[in-house]
């Protein structure tokens, strides 16, 4: 079975790369059928949750929820 490379896009700056290029800020957890990862962008430092999973109908579903960036 071939390994699938996931491409993730930062919702803050639009930077797109492989999942392993983003910093994992906490251990992944389950939400319904999704595996959720809290990630930090290596380019802008923005944080977001990345949701990835296969629905009960067998469809691949991915989305992100961004967090506010820290104000200086």
Residue 8 resides in a domain: no
Domain around 44: 24-72
| Higher pLDDT among residues 21 and 67, named by residue | 21
Q: Got the DSSP string for 54-72? A: E-TTS-EEEEEEE-PPPP-
What domain count does the chain have?
1
Residue 18 resides in a domain: no
pLDDT score at 33: 92
Question: Residue 36: CA atoms inside 13 Å, Cβ hemisphere, count?
Answer: 12
Residue 60 resides in a domain: yes
Residue 64 resides in a domain: yes
Query: Which residues are CB-contacts of 6 (< 8 A; sequence separation ≥ 6)?
Result: 18, 19, 52, 62
Tens of pLDDT, residues 12-59: 999 999 999 999 999 999 999 999 999 999 999 999 999 999 999 999
Residue 2 resides in a domain: no
pLDDT score at 67: 84
Residue 38 resides in a domain: yes
- Answer whether 51's CB lies under 8 Å from 62's CB: yes
Residue 3 resides in a domain: no
């Amino acid at each position: 079975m071939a390994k699938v490379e996931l491409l993730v896009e930062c919702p803050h700056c639009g930077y797109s790369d492989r999942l392993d290029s983003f910093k994992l800020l906490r251990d992944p957890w389950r939400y319904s059928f999704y595996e959720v990862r809290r990630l930090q962008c290596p380019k802008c430092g923005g944080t977001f949750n990345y949701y990835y999973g296969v629905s009960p109908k067998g469809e691949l579903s991915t989305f992100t929820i961004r967090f506010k960036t820290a104000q200086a």
